[in-house]
Amino acid sequence: MSFLEDYAYYFGAFGLIFIGLLIMLVKHNLIKVIIGLSILDTGVNLFLISVGYISNGTAPIFCRDDMDPSRMVDPVPQALVLTAIVIGVAVLAMALAIAVRLYQRYGTLDLRKIKELRW
Amino acid sequence: MMVELLLIVAFGGSLLTYVLGKLSSRLRNGFALLNALALVIMIGMLYGQEFERSLPFGFLGIQFSIRMNMLSWFFAATILGIGLLAVLYSFRYMKGKERLDYYYFTLLFINASMLGTVVAGDLLSFFIFWEMMSWSTYLLISLRGGGKAIFAGIKYIIMSLVGSLAMLVAIVSLYTAFGTVDIGELAVHMQSASLGLALLVVILFSITFVIINALWPFHTWLPDAHAEAVSPFSAILSAVLVRKGLYGLFLLMYVILGFSFLDRLAVGAISFSNVLAWIGAITIVFAAFRALLQNDSKRILAWSTVGQGGYMVLGVSVATSMGMAGGTFHILNHCIYIALLFFVAGAIEHRTGGIRDLDSLGGLIKKMPVAFVGGLVGIFGLIGLPLTNGFVSKWLIYKSLILEGRPFLAFAAFLGTWGTILYGYKFIHNIFLGQLPDELRDVKRVPFTMAVPIMVLVVLVFLFGVLPGIPLSVVNQVGTYMGFEPLDLNVWGIPSESGTLNVVNLLAAIAVAGFLVWLLFKTLGRSTRVDQSDNYAAGAAIPRGRYGFTREFYAPLYRIVSPYVKDFPDALFLWIADRTKALGGMTRKIYSGYVGSYVMYIVLFLAALVFVQLTWSPW
Amino acid sequence: MRVFLSLLALAVIALGIAMTLTDIPFGKPKADIATHYVENGREDTGAVNIITSVVLGYRGFDTLGEVAVLFVAAMGLGAVLATGTRTPKANGWEPASLVLYTGCRFLFPLIVLFGAYIFIHGHLTPGGGFQGGAIIASAFLLTYLGCRGRRVHEAWSSAVESLGGLTFVVLGLAGLTAAGHYFLSAFLPAGTLGQLFSGGIIPLIYIAIGLKVGSELAGVIDRLVEESQ
Amino acid sequence: MIVLVSLLVLLMLCSALAALIFKDLLNAVIASCVVSLLASILFYFLHAPDVAMAEASIGAALVTAIFIIAIRRTRRHEE
Amino acid sequence: MVSPVLLIAVPLGLAFAMPLIALISRRLPRFVPLVACAFNLIVAIRLIPTVLSAPVIQRIGGFSPPFCINLFAGPVGVMFAGLIALAGLVIAIYALSYIRTGPTVRYHMLYMLLLVGATGVVLTGDVFNLFVFFEVLCISSYALVAYFGDRNGLEAAAKYLIQGAVGSALLLMGIGLLYGLFGTLNMADIASRIGSVSDISVFVPLALIVSGLGVEAAIFPLNAWLPDAHSSAPSSISAILSGIAIEVGLYAVVRMIFTVFGATSIFMFLLFLGVLTVLMGELCAFAQTNIKRMLAYSSIGQIGLIVFAFAMASTISLAGGLFQLLTHTLSKALLFLAAGYMIHRSGSMEISSLNGMGRRMPLTSLAFSFGAFSIVGLPPFIGFPSKFLIVRSALEKQQTLFTLLLGFVLLGTLVEGAYFFRVVQAIYFKKSGDEPASRSLAPALPLISMLILAVLIIFVGIYPQPVADALSTAASDLLDRAAYIGSVLR
């Protein structure tokens, strides 16, 4: 039980990261690769937050004055993840815009066929 | 103060020529000539002075310095002398062609940077001027455009880049070892240098100087460069620029290291001077026979430059005072007659509308007598007939070889001279003698401004031939600067116990022989003009038109010799260039265009890093 | 072959990271920096929600960079899609039914109001500029799906975007020139803790960010959608 | 509580694998949306309400919307 | 004393204000990048003297360093900011007349944000802040590579984006691990705590961060995007990417390795990687026929040379590396700008189409050959002092390994000389094809920017002393880890 206790979130986070990387490595369709990218980002964010967790802690917001600061969860990773999620969205939006225009130019999204720039 | 002024005038002059060229071509030509003349006069005034001064500004913590002594004066005089003649010559020669401002700027810039290398007091400024000389030469070699010129240019710049990179590594390793690049201080430090460092420095420096001096393995750029360059520049290129390699060798062997140190490097028979001597010998023989078959007038002269380079190295590497004097004097002589021959070849090319192929020339003796005289005297100097300057220096070199007991080297030199005689005769015969082809009917005489340099050089050939004492006194001072005891000589020749050279007896002998021939010719009656058909051709039908026997002049000889004289270094370098291009073509396949593999490279790189850390953890 | 190679590489990386994770036990107490933030976050920045005090107070420069990233994404999208060719009329886009149409039009103001509530109370309750902006953008998304033809006004959205970013930078520069001469230093009074008007410049920045993110994400969706009509 | 968490984690990984396997891009996008939602719930369990809201509103809603619009304008099935 | 944060805040404010300016008048936004770069240049120049003596620590938000993001304006950082501003200014002048078609207002906005991202990466003292500005830099360069919207541009941008996104994800993972291990994000704070953890668990975040940043810094296996991106982007963008973006990525890698991790044992690996990058870049460039693709591969070669110089980790070698970096920025920008107008004039990117360009565009071809000569490292140009310093630092190690590797690197420069001179030959000495050689100079503005770069290249080449001194203080700042930690956490 205690093993699960410790490594559930890490297992989930790095599972997502490696599945995301696997999609990007294996798949040929550009949209599928971008989906892999989004899963990779979610995985990294999950890992960041699980690093900052305190066992049986509380959310770092003083809704009542008498909350004990020492039991509060680490706020810094949450600040980082807020920024990281929005950066992930920015990259995804840019990727999909380029994918759409690429489809208009090439007529296909299969990366094995989009190989004019090589050597 | 004079030397800094010299450099400023040289470099400033080249820039100013380009600017004036934009205004008017006459102004530019006048200024270029004035500039060259002024430089010659200034170098004249510097004769005999010997000093070393550091300049106010430096480069990355290294102080530049200027150095003037007999050795650098000797080379500076040849540079500026030939430069003046070439500038004078190129007024008329380059008249019709385009991009003249660019041509004059680069010509004067090359002269200035050569002057810089010779006058430089420390190895870094020597290197800077050296590199400026090499890339400006590259810009001038392929001036005429066209496939072969570009190929020649690329070949030259790559080989000179190899040379300068080797020299850079050598200079920097000297700097890191001794903290100074000044030639004087280095000469002192080098005596205590470790053998390994000295060996590295010697090898790297000699690679550079062998390449620029076009000795045997690295000669391949010279024939192409000369054949494609414009004649005035090929005169400078072969007379002076190629000899920077020898200046470098003198600097390395005698000034910095000193000959005693070089012997310490020797391992049994393989000493530095031996290797150099054998390279010189091979160059002489190889170039002589390669020159035989060339059909292009300039290519013959190019191969002869390669050959003569071998003589100089042979003389220098014997390292006795006589050999040294022979080698140095040969630089001066070669400089004179090769420039003369290139001027003649250029004049012919200029007048006959660019024809350089020997088979289609002939009988120009009547049309261009000045060119004929120049060509004949140049070939005499090249071959080394008595009364010409070539004879004296070759005599010195042969004598030192025999005195030192180096029979094989002497034999190689003789074989080389024999080859030189053959292709010298081919040069004269195909161009001037024989029958005049009809398309050359209306060839005009050599223009005056081109005739002047030719005549000046002809006079010099004879002057140094008949009165060797004058140049030899200069050569002696160069020898003493480098630590050799001077030859005892008088104006007319060199008295030595094992056979003196006395030009007076020679003159007497020749005068008597000449009188006898004249007498014989006078008494036995007139020669009669014979019609072309009144001839015996061993039964073959006598051709009505022009006798074409100058075609393939030495073909039978060459068929015997050619298997041994194949130019395999050239083939080797082309093969290497081809292999790098193929390798480039192969390595770029890594960028296959498929994104999946690019992401795979990133992940593999990361996995490799982690794997190495997990298993072997070197860091 | 490709799958095997990638699995192998990922396994090695996983092994490496697992070795590192042994040094980061899950749920261990926070480091000194985080305890400092939690303990005197309220006094330093005046915000009850410590995450907001970290996002805007202690690490405000990150958020400035973050706003710049979103701005770049919006502009980049505009640049990439602006030169596109018109795709043919999207078939199968039949108009929404009346119920959906009126429902969307009714829900739009409510969602926008809810989004505004989120980013105005950024320093008090969970949530902030980014979450409020996203909710506003989802309101615009709803109108695209429901009632066709209603599009965000181009000039308005770019004006709001640039004003939002500009207020953030100007507040920072004001901090630089006015009090304590540090960029983004809290020069407005912190007000009483827990009240709406507390936390110095934090609510102002979050409002600016909320509007900016809302208009930017709406603009992103608008440009992506616009070509398919 | 930890049993619920590990169940959610397993569900999340399965939907991520589903996104890998589905040929139809729309299903893959829906699978990635499910991953986002489950991650948002996990964030809630990790006492990070701000991030849960952000993940839900941006990660689940807007990203999925953008994906669907993009698929609409290109090709639905992965060739 | 002007504060370094202005270097980031003012251009960012101007970038945000640009949409408003665009609403006011269509033609005004084109000049905003010029104003911003000029401002940055002035601020950087005024900062350099104070910074050379002691680094300026600028605290954002008024809290003491480990608890806030601080800008570390050391000699390296401010010099980089000045270089970015200078190159940005020159290329902005060029782009005024080069970028005519398409959404030009958005081009100028993205261009400015690229410069803001670069300046941010160079000045920041916080790891996550480095990631955020790194993202600003990357996303704006993705968009700008796809600016022309043609087949090649979009393909290159798509590939560049995917690789860059994977790199950023790895970088973020590395930062997460660092935070997990040390609980802090301030570079100096991490540097002071780096010893407290076992060896393997310090190495994995280092590996992640190096490969994440390495993608942008174009180190050998990670630089597959560079040839496509730099050859199909608009020329002004290839110039800024080659001139600034990869150098900033390289600075980030070096700052992380030298200062934050102090991983002195990884230098040997970096040494071999640098030599490998040089050989790869030069050999591939040798086999190219497209001019911009050749210049892109030569950028890879030059980056390898700089990594080789940095990996030797002595003050002289770092100074040489920084000097070579300056050389590459100036000369590669000049090469791309000149190539841009030559391609514009000759219609195609093939080297064979550049034949006889010397007559048709004399000044642009002169600028191109200046750039080519200075990249190869010939004396009167800026390339020579930097190559001299690198050769000197390699030989000062007195070890046969370094001399051998230096041999390979010089072999690379030889191959580089070969293919650059081949192009210069084609420009000057080959006859152009059919139509008569009508002389048409490039318009005035690009000529001005090329002139500025050419003058800089020659001036610093002839008189490199002040630049060399400034760079050696910068090198010692990069090397001196304890001083960095001390000045920040005092």
pLDDT bin (cut points 50, 70, 90) of residue C208 is very high
Interatomic CA distance for residues E321 and E308, integer angstroms: 8
Place of tokens 């369990």: D45
Place of tokens 């094809």: E433
- Model confidence over D34-53: pLDDT tens digits? 999 999 999 999 999 999 99
Q: Break chain C into its structural domains and give their ranges.
A: 2-226
Interatomic CA distance for residues E53 and E469, integer angstroms: 12
Interatomic CA distance for residues B85 and B235, integer angstroms: 10
Set out the domains of chain A in order of their start, with CATH numbers: 2-55+71-106 (1.10.287.3510)
- Model confidence over B1-30: pLDDT tens digits? 788 889 999 999 999 999 998 888 889 999
Q: What is the mean pLDDT of residues E107-121?
A: 95
Q: Residue C149 pLDDT more than 80?
A: no
Q: Does D17 touch chain C (CB under 8 A)?
A: no
Interatomic CA distance for residues B410 and B387, integer angstroms: 22
Across the interface, which of C2, C6, C16 has its CB nearest the CB of B610? C16
Q: What is the mean pLDDT of residues B141-169?
A: 90
- Model confidence over E425-468: pLDDT tens digits? 889 888 876 665 567 777 888 999 999 999 999 999 999 999 99
Interatomic CA distance for residues E150 and A105, integer angstroms: 8
Q: Residue D72 pLDDT more than 90?
A: no
Interatomic CA distance for residues B132 and E473, integer angstroms: 30
With respect to residue E407, please indicate whether it lies within any of the assigned structural domains.
yes
Interatomic CA distance for residues C73 and C87, integer angstroms: 22
Interatomic CA distance for residues A13 and B85, integer angstroms: 82
Note whether E31 and C177 are within 8 A (CB): no
pLDDT at B546: 67
Q: Does E168 touch chain C (CB under 8 A)?
A: no
- Residue B482 or B162, more confident: B162
pLDDT at E372: 95
SS3 of B534-566: the string is: CCCCCCCCCCCCCCCCCCCCCHHHHHHHHHHHC
pLDDT bin (cut points 50, 70, 90) of residue E35 is very high
Q: Which of A48-62, C152-166, E449-463 has the highest mean pLDDT?
A: E449-463
Q: Residue B574 pLDDT more than 80?
A: yes
- How far separated are the first and last CA of chain C, in Å rounded? 43
Interatomic CA distance for residues D9 and B159, integer angstroms: 66
Interatomic CA distance for residues E356 and E360, integer angstroms: 7
Q: Is B258 exposed, middle or buried (0-12, 13-18, 19+ CB in 10 A)?
A: middle
Q: Residue A12 pLDDT more than 90?
A: yes
Mean pLDDT of chain D: 92
Q: What is the mean pLDDT of residues B181-185?
A: 86
Q: Which of B181-195, C194-208, E107-121, E346-360 has the highest mean pLDDT?
A: E107-121
Q: Residue E121 pLDDT more than 50?
A: yes
pLDDT at B8: 92
A22 and C7: CB-CB below 8 Å?
Answer: yes
A touches which chains (3+ CB pairs under 8 A)? B, C, D, E
Q: Report yes or no on chains D and B touching (3+ CB pairs under 8 A).
A: no
pLDDT at E58: 86
Q: Residue B150 pLDDT more than 70?
A: yes
Q: Is B64 helix (H, G, I), strand (E, B) or coil?
A: strand
Which residue in chain A has the smallest CA separation from D1?
A5
pLDDT at E64: 80
CA distance readout (Å), D71 to B47, C88, C89 = 86, 15, 15
pLDDT at B228: 86
Q: What is the mean pLDDT of residues B300-304?
A: 92
- Residue E3 or C76, more confident: C76
Which residue in chain E has the smallest CA separation from B149?
E429
- Give the type of residue at E76: V
Q: Residue B260 pLDDT more than 90?
A: no
- DSSP-assigned letters across all residues of chain D: -HHHHHHHHHHHHHHHHHHHH-SBHHHHHHHHHHHHHHHHHHHHHTT-HHHHHHIIIIIIIIHHHHHHHHHHHS-SB--
- DSSP-assigned letters across all residues of B322-362: HHHHHHHHHHHHHHHHHHHHHHHHHHHHHHTTS--BGGG--
Q: What is the mean pLDDT of residues B570-588?
A: 91
Hey, of A22, A68, A73, A86, which one would you mutate to test binding to chain C, going by the most C CBs within 10 A of its CB?
Answer: A86
Contact residues, E window 265-284, toward B, CB-based 8 Å cutoff: 265-266, 268-269, 280, 283-284
Q: What is the mean pLDDT of residues B390-400?
A: 88
- Model confidence over E233-256: pLDDT tens digits? 999 999 999 999 999 999 999 999
Q: Is B491 helix (H, G, I), strand (E, B) or coil?
A: coil
Interatomic CA distance for residues E213 and A20, integer angstroms: 20
C touches which chains (3+ CB pairs under 8 A)? A, B, D, E
Q: What is the ipTM of this complex?
A: 0.94
Note whether B158 and E417 are within 8 A (CB): yes
Phi-psi domain of C27 (left: phi exceeds 0; alpha: psi -120 through 50; beta: other): left
Q: What is the mean pLDDT of residues E150-167?
A: 94
pLDDT bin (cut points 50, 70, 90) of residue C227 is low
A37 and E228: CB-CB below 8 Å?
Answer: no
Structure tokens at C168: 């953030």
Across the interface, which of C22, C72, C82 has its CB nearest the CB of E139? C72
Structure tokens at C215: 């208009």
pLDDT at E357: 86
Distance of CA A49 to the CA centre of its chain: 11
Domain count, chain E: 1
C13 and B596: CB-CB below 8 Å?
Answer: no
Q: What is the mean pLDDT of residues B212-238?
A: 89
Contact residues, D window 46-75, toward C, CB-based 8 Å cutoff: 48-50, 53-54, 57-58, 61-62, 65-66, 69-70, 72-73
SS3 of B450-487: the string is: HHHHHHHHHHHHHHHHHCCHHHHHHHHHHHHHCCCCCC
Mean pLDDT of chain E: 91
pLDDT bin (cut points 50, 70, 90) of residue C15 is very high
Mean pLDDT of chain B: 86
Distance of CA E126 to the CA centre of its chain: 21
Q: Residue C229 pLDDT more than 50?
A: no
Interatomic CA distance for residues E52 and E45, integer angstroms: 11
CA atoms within 13 A on the CB side of E448: 13
Task: Please enumerate in sequence order all residues whose Cβ is within 8 A of that of C126, keeping only pairs 6 or more positions apart, or say none.
Answer: A59, A61, C49, C51, D49, D50, D53
pLDDT at B618: 66
D65 and C221: CB-CB below 8 Å?
Answer: yes
Interatomic CA distance for residues C222 and C219, integer angstroms: 5
Interatomic CA distance for residues E328 and C136, integer angstroms: 47
Q: What is the mean pLDDT of residues B301-327?
A: 88
Q: Residue C179 pLDDT more than 70?
A: no
E109 and C75: CB-CB below 8 Å?
Answer: yes
pLDDT at B51: 85
- Residue B616 or A102, more confident: A102
